[in-house]
Amino acid sequence: MLNYDAGQGEWSNWLVTETGFDPAHQGKGEAVLSIGNGYMGLRSATDENYVGQVRNWFVAGTFNKFDEHEVTELPNAADVTELSITLNGETFSLEKGRTISYSRQLNLKNGELTRNVVWQSPTGESFELQFRRFVSLSNRHLVGSSVSIKPLDGQARVHIASGINGQWTNSGAQHFTEGEKRIFEKTYIQMTSTTTQSVVDFVTNTVHHWQLNGAKVEPELRQTMGRRKVGIEGTVTVEAGQSVTLEKISNVHTSRDLVYNNGGYSLEQMRESALTELKQESQKGYDQLFRESANAWADTWSTYNIEVDSTSGYDQLAIRFAIYHLVIMTPAHDNRMGIGAKGLSGEGYKGHSFWDTEIFILPFFIYSNPKIARSLLEYRYQGLDGARSKAKENGFEGAMYPWEAAWIEDGEVTPVWGDVDIVTGEQTKIWSGFIEQHITSDIAYAVWHYVQSTGDEAFMDQYGYEIIFDTATFWASRLEWDENKGRYHINEVVGPDEYKEHVDNNAFTNHMAHFNMELAIQYYEKLQQEKPELLKALSAKLDLTSAREAWNKLDQMYLPGPNEQGLIPQDDTYLQKKVIDLTPYKNQTKVASIFNDYNLDQVGEMQISKQADIMMLFFLLENKFEPDIKRANYDYYEEKTLHDSSLSLSTHSILASDFGNRPLAYDLFRRASEIDLGPHMHSSDAGIHSASLGGIWECVVMGFAGVRMLDGQLHLDPKLPESWSSLKFPLYWQNQLLHITITAEGILIESDAEEEISLLLSGQQVTFSKRFQTLV
């Protein structure tokens, strides 16, 4: 139903095309073709309604909690995209009549979503309909949409009901108190609403412009108001071959916007200011507003452009698709906001941030746009208070980051209950919020990764040390002394592999905690020598004297290592568990098919992994393990891994690149890209997979190009897939922008600045300025 090769010339490998409409599979197109700008995300529900449609519009950071029994989530805002179109008395719907042609396209290059339909109504009259829609990248509050309708067979009465509809919910949870509905000058429509618990005001405006054959026309108009609804209905008589166009320019402002949040704005002033903006902007019309946004997209693509020469154009498109979504999911404008696990493209995971950001997405920004990476880490800094509260509530010290994070003040927001337990008939308890604790060291790792790659000492001084010290303090307090073994353990956790709950000494968790504490000691010592004043200030805040003492526990910490077969046990009991044939559950169209036959307790008793666990450890701390150990473990665990998490395939692909297994690495890259782009029509229903999209960039840049930061050094170790003849990508290193071109013939590195650049190229130290080239 989706194809990727419709683009020709300028648009080659830029177009994602939906070739037919299937009401049973709307989620796919809604999520994959969603549009946005990081401030807002607009899921691409069709203008007309269908059963099964999920119409979502999210504004980043506007979290609200429905009630005390639920966790906070991004509320689904009042909609401006819905149109009810009636053509000579027949409501336009692709479920009836005959669809003569259909094509819906997301243009990744300019951010426009278009849909072209020729539809024959049940009475036999044909119409050509063209829909266009964009979320502006140049004015973050703005949405433009347009529909043109041309009757092909004879005169038609075209009736369109449009407006603002606040009846939509998050799967039944209504997050808004209805405010005022208003039509100004019979033209501008405004609705205000306020989130019920977090008290965030939303002001939504829209205006309609009607044209007949490109000239302004006044339709017969009716103003309408209903519960949580305000709109207009317009009717125009159109001759055969004429075209009537309805342009709709809309905006949304919320009291979380920095401009309102920091000042003493009243709701009245917000309304005035948002309406004034709409009045001014809408004068420009759809085309001009769209051009402004498309120009901003052009700038964006010049920042992130990766060029691939592959025998399959799809590879280029898949990379662009990943970057497109990384751009629209990221609230780069506001460091009080993180990235949702489904971006802003669906209700899944409620807009919450997981380790997905730090481990799968942050590298993209560290190496492509470090300012945004910094903003994302500042978000985590602002979450420290919540992390400290969580530690305290759990009887620990320091900062224990929430498994799921939402608004900076919220602390832990992981829901407690999940899907059905097929054995007990109860909801399955979700343990991640309680005991999936590696997120804390993942964030410390990310801070280190960022600063090592950028050299942003100012960030460290202001935020970074505090995060690293206080997370290390958490781990020190978290360690449990085992009297028998005479060492520290970390018991009763969930590691990255979420099919194993309540395990002791998860290898990933232990190693990363150790890394976190080790890092704290290193930085502590560095500050002692280089910045004693800063250390003193931090000590006053964090009681670093006793913390430093506690970190020493790492010396007596149990770090799972290879056994006689060279296998690192994923946890204390994994390797003793039953092994079953997983063939029936691998590569299913639906992930987690194992739960049709077993419940989580039963799966927990077998050697079955949801996702990369030990492999993730190998990727993050690659220096700590020998290549042959990695290979042996890869072979062992890959067999047991269902890749039921979208965080899994890309990691395996990178490791395959590390091993030099190019066909496998490429195959895993393709499979990872198909998590959203593939033929599984329900995999993206709840939204695209943010981490997987970051993972695609990682497969390419960290896998195929072998970019890595090790011991503060930039490494490049290209192993292009056999079908790729070249790969070109931008890369920031220590505040320098490099342009790297890898071909079968050799490697070219260019730098925009004069400074000397030093890196390890396939193990060889090279130093240059401006330009470096090597031929095979």
Assess 267 for contact with its own copies (CB under 8 A).
no
Beta strand pairing call for 417-420 and 220-226? unpaired
Pairwise CA distance, residues 189 & 230, whole Å: 7
CB 491, CB 480: distance < 8 Å: yes
Assess 736 for contact with its own copies (CB under 8 A).
no
Which residues, numbered 4-33, are part of the site for its own copies (CB under 8 A)?
23-24
Pairwise CA distance, residues 735 & 371, whole Å: 10
Coil, strand, or helix at residue 240?
A: coil
CB 339, CB 688: distance < 8 Å: no
From the list 179-187, 543-551, 676-684, 763-771, the region that binds its own copies by CB under 8 A is 179-187
**Smallest gap from residue 48 Cβ to its own copies (A):** 8
- Structure tokens given for 30: 């809604």
- The residues, ordered by sequence, that sit 6+ positions from 245 with a Cβ below 8 Å of its Cβ are 146, 147, 148, 149, 210, 211, 212, 214
Binds its own copies (CB under 8 A): choice among 8, 214, 227, 711:
227
Residue 633 sits at φ, ψ, to 5 deg, of -70, -40
Pairwise CA distance, residues 331 & 582, whole Å: 40
Number of residues in the chain: 776
Binds its own copies (CB under 8 A): choice among 103, 148, 224, 491:
224
Nearer to its own copies, 217 or 225 (CB): 225
Nearer to its own copies, 207 or 387 (CB): 207
Is 498 among the residues known to form the active site?
yes
Nearer to its own copies, 37 or 190 (CB): 190
CB 514, CB 551: distance < 8 Å: no
Handedness of CA 476, 477, 479, 482 (dihedral sign): positive
Assess 429 for contact with its own copies (CB under 8 A).
no
CB 664, CB 723: distance < 8 Å: no
**Smallest gap from residue 172 Cβ to its own copies (A):** 3
**Smallest gap from residue 592 Cβ to its own copies (A):** 13
Binds its own copies (CB under 8 A): choice among 299, 419, 480, 626:
419
Binds its own copies (CB under 8 A): choice among 116, 148, 177, 242:
177
Assess 225 for contact with its own copies (CB under 8 A).
yes
Assess 222 for contact with its own copies (CB under 8 A).
yes
Which residues, numbered 182-211, are part of the site for its own copies (CB under 8 A)?
182-186, 196
> Residue 581 annotated as binding?
no
**Smallest gap from residue 191 Cβ to its own copies (A):** 11
Assess 169 for contact with its own copies (CB under 8 A).
yes
CB 773, CB 761: distance < 8 Å: no
Nearer to its own copies, 174 or 198 (CB): 174
Assess 51 for contact with its own copies (CB under 8 A).
yes
From the list 64-72, 252-260, 470-478, 537-545, the region that binds its own copies by CB under 8 A is 64-72
Pairwise CA distance, residues 637 & 570, whole Å: 9
Assess 43 for contact with its own copies (CB under 8 A).
no
Which residues, numbered 343-362, are part of the site for its own copies (CB under 8 A)?
none
Q: Identify the bridge partners of residue 750 per DSSP, sorted by sequence position.
A: 739, 771
Assess 237 for contact with its own copies (CB under 8 A).
no
CB 739, CB 712: distance < 8 Å: no
Nearer to its own copies, 119 or 669 (CB): 119
> Residue 297 annotated as binding?
no
Nearer to its own copies, 31 or 490 (CB): 31
Nearer to its own copies, 197 or 573 (CB): 197
Beta strand pairing call for 713-716 and 756-761? parallel
The DSSP secondary-structure symbol of 275 reads: H
Count of helices and strands (H, E) across the chain? 22, 32
**Smallest gap from residue 231 Cβ to its own copies (A):** 9
Binds its own copies (CB under 8 A): choice among 426, 605, 639, 756:
426
From the list 106-114, 220-228, 578-586, 662-670, the region that binds its own copies by CB under 8 A is 220-228
- Structure tokens given for 330: 């990221």
Assess 243 for contact with its own copies (CB under 8 A).
no
Pairwise CA distance, residues 69 & 641, whole Å: 34
> Residue 168 annotated as binding?
no
Query: How many angstroms separate the first and last alpha carbons of the chain?
Result: 42
Nearer to its own copies, 183 or 580 (CB): 183
Bin 124: left if φ > 0, else alpha if -120 < ψ < 50, else beta. left
Nearer to its own copies, 225 or 760 (CB): 225
Q: Is 196 exposed, middle or buried (0-12, 13-18, 19+ CB in 10 A)?
A: middle
Looking at residue 205, its amino acid is N
DSSP 252-273: EEETTSHHHHTTT--HHHHHHH
- Structure tokens given for 528: 């002692």
Assess 427 for contact with its own copies (CB under 8 A).
yes
Site size for its own copies (CB under 8 A): 47
**Which of 247, 347, 466, 498 is flagged as catalytic?**
498
Which residues, numbered 495-534, are part of the site for its own copies (CB under 8 A)?
none
Nearer to its own copies, 166 or 234 (CB): 166
**Smallest gap from residue 366 Cβ to its own copies (A):** 35
**Smallest gap from residue 419 Cβ to its own copies (A):** 5
Assess 174 for contact with its own copies (CB under 8 A).
yes
Closest CA to 431 of 412, 454, 456: 412
Binds its own copies (CB under 8 A): choice among 230, 430, 443, 707:
230
**Smallest gap from residue 21 Cβ to its own copies (A):** 12
Which residues, numbered 67-126, are part of the site for its own copies (CB under 8 A)?
67, 69-70, 91, 93, 95-96
Nearer to its own copies, 1 or 420 (CB): 420
- The residues, ordered by sequence, that sit 6+ positions from 123 with a Cβ below 8 Å of its Cβ are 88, 90
Assess 218 for contact with its own copies (CB under 8 A).
no
H or E element, residue 159: strand 156-165
Handedness of CA 653, 657, 661, 667 (dihedral sign): positive
Assess 760 for contact with its own copies (CB under 8 A).
no
Which residues, numbered 139-168, are part of the site for its own copies (CB under 8 A)?
166-168
- Structure tokens given for 485: 């073994």
> Residue 355 annotated as binding?
yes
Given the structure tokens 């995300």, which residue do they identify?
41
- The residues, ordered by sequence, that sit 6+ positions from 73 with a Cβ below 8 Å of its Cβ are 63, 64, 65, 66, 170, 173, 175, 347, 350, 351, 352, 406
Given the structure tokens 């689904």, which residue do they identify?
76
Assess 303 for contact with its own copies (CB under 8 A).
no
Residue ranges for the binding site? 355-356, 610-611
* Interface ranges with its own copies (CB under 8 A): 23-24, 49-52, 66-67, 69-70, 91, 93, 95-96, 166-169, 171-174, 177-178, 180-186, 196, 222-228, 230, 419-420, 422, 425-427, 596
Residue ranges for the binding site for substrate? 355-356, 610-611
Give the active site residues. 498
